Amino acid sequence: MKKKFLSVIGFAILCRFQVYSQVRTDTARLPKPAYTSLYTPVGQDTSNYNPRRLRIDEIDLVSSYYTQTGDHSAVMGGIPGPAGTQNVTDFSNGLNLNLVWLNQANNKNTLSVGLGYDHHSSASAAYVALNGGGKPGGTRIYPSLDWTVENAKTGGTFGIGLYYSGEYNYKSKGIDFHWSTKTNDKSGEFGVKLQGYFDQVTQILPSELITTPAASQGGSTYTITTASGVVETLSSSGQVISSSKNTLPTSPRTTLTAAFSYSQQINSRLQVMFLGDIVAQSGDLGLPFHRVYFNDSDTSIAKVEKLPSSRVKVPVGVRLNYFLGDDIILRTYYRYYIDNWGTRSNTASIEVPYKVTPFFSVSPFYRYYDQTAAKYYAPYREHSVTDTYYTSNEEYAKFNAGFYGVGFRIAPPNGVFGMHNFHELEIRYGHYTQTTDLVSDVVSLSMGFK
């Protein structure tokens, strides 16, 4: 009896100790006393400390191979058939590097450094020289720089961008200022971008239209100037004695753009963005090696296309993305375009990414496009010599176009092919057709590294 009594007492004391330990205040979380040691113990919580030093946030590589066929080249005045070949191949590559750091105000600064390199071969370019002996290809290099600051408290941004593009017949310098702000509840965002391109179009004329003397003879040698501006001195036997690049005149082209956008989250599955631009172009808006043939003159004689020196464009568009179910997303886009050259255009596209797994998706897509003809367009040999402006470039013709294909995206948490820094891979193929008989295919590859 005595043992049972002591057992009960002992058990009760143990229970009281247990309860006491559970309600006792954890003195480790009490405010520290006024005196503080300068020693920082190992393992102290540093989650509120943000490193401010510059670091590489992301590296993106995008490559595309493009191939095109057609037979109404603007270089040959829109002539149908082999002489009007529009065969093109283009290999485009772009590298973008994002550097980020925090400034004293804890605002995120992003510096995007980009470099693009395109190499193309264009069968129609060879016909700048009427005998088809012109240079059929070229390269284009286009670096870019963008600096954006994001306000840590409001989420608004401000930035500036610089651009350059150089190819043998065209030089461009560009600048933009962009700004955005969010709504109070952070569900909407309004953005503005003001952009200017200041370009120089090299005046490379069709060979038969070069007005300066193309050849002169002095003694036993003679000198010629090619359509691309190269001056060559040849011996009487035709051997090149010397070759020097002439400086062809250039003509300016200016493009000013004000772009507006507003995005809004509608609900947990739906968000929408409205976009609108106002674009004003001035200067030389055609290309000097595009020919036009007329119906009421010697049909073998062409002129260089002539277009107005100003153009105003107003495209407006809307994007709407909807998360359908658990695995399917609808990405839709519509644009209406109008300009003062008489062109009206509709663009509509839909893409349906299907998440096969959370890290692998397949995205079939379709894009429809149509446009009316510009006022200054007429097909091969349908312009009159009395027309003030004239072009036979089918870019300005009335046509419909369809673009369809499929894309694949892989973004596993452990990295693509197990490479931790290789966080994303996208491959995309598309087939494009116009009712002008222009057909093209494009394959693109995008790789993202963090």
| Among residues 98, 124, 169, 180, the one that binds another protein under rule CB under 8 A | 169
3-state SS string for 355-382: EEECCEEEEEEEEEEEECCCCCECCCCC
Residue 290 in the binding site for another protein (CB under 8 A):
no
Contacts with another protein: how many residues (CB under 8 A)? 100
Cβ proximity of 147 and 110 under 8 Å: yes
Continuous segment of H or E residues that includes residue 349:
strand 344-351
For the segment 241-260, give every residue that binds another protein (CB under 8 A). Answer: 253-255, 257, 259
CB of residue 18 to another protein, shortest distance in Å: 37
CB of residue 37 to another protein, shortest distance in Å: 38
Count CB neighbours of 240 within 10 A.
Answer: 10
Q: Half-sphere exposure (CA, 13 Å, Cβ side) for 427?
A: 3
Segment near another protein (CB under 8 A); pick from 21-29, 72-80, 86-94, 239-247 = 86-94
Q: Give 198 or 215: the residue with its C-beta nearer to another protein.
A: 198
Q: What SS3 class is residue 42?
A: coil
Residue 444 in the binding site for another protein (CB under 8 A):
yes
User: Given the DSSP bridges, would you call strands 399-410 and 360-371 parallel, antiparallel or unpaired?
Assistant: antiparallel
Residue 389 in the binding site for another protein (CB under 8 A):
no
Q: Give 7 or 400: the residue with its C-beta nearer to another protein.
A: 400
Cβ proximity of 199 and 255 under 8 Å: yes
Residue 137 in the binding site for another protein (CB under 8 A):
no
Q: Give 253 or 383: the residue with its C-beta nearer to another protein.
A: 253
| Residue environment code for 355-371, b if the CB has 16+ CB neighbours within 10 A, otherwise e | beeeeebebebebebeb
Residue 273 in the binding site for another protein (CB under 8 A):
yes
**Lookup: tokens for 167:** 């190819």
Cβ proximity of 270 and 321 under 8 Å: yes
Contact string 209-248 vs another protein (x = CB under 8 A): ----------------------------------------
Residue 113 in the binding site for another protein (CB under 8 A):
no
Residue 163 in the binding site for another protein (CB under 8 A):
yes
Q: Give 135 or 428: the residue with its C-beta nearer to another protein.
A: 428
| Among residues 83, 126, 130, 140, the one that binds another protein under rule CB under 8 A | 140
Continuous segment of H or E residues that includes residue 6:
helix 2-23
The Cα 340–Cα 56 span in angstroms is 45
For the segment 38-77, give every residue that binds another protein (CB under 8 A). Answer: 60, 62, 64, 66
Residue 316 in the binding site for another protein (CB under 8 A):
yes
Cβ proximity of 312 and 380 under 8 Å: no
Q: Give 290 or 383: the residue with its C-beta nearer to another protein.
A: 290
**Lookup: tokens for 442:** 């494009």
CB of residue 382 to another protein, shortest distance in Å: 18
Residue 430 in the binding site for another protein (CB under 8 A):
yes
Longest dimension (CA), the chain: 140
Residue 126 in the binding site for another protein (CB under 8 A):
no
Segment near another protein (CB under 8 A); pick from 16-24, 44-52, 313-321, 413-421 = 313-321
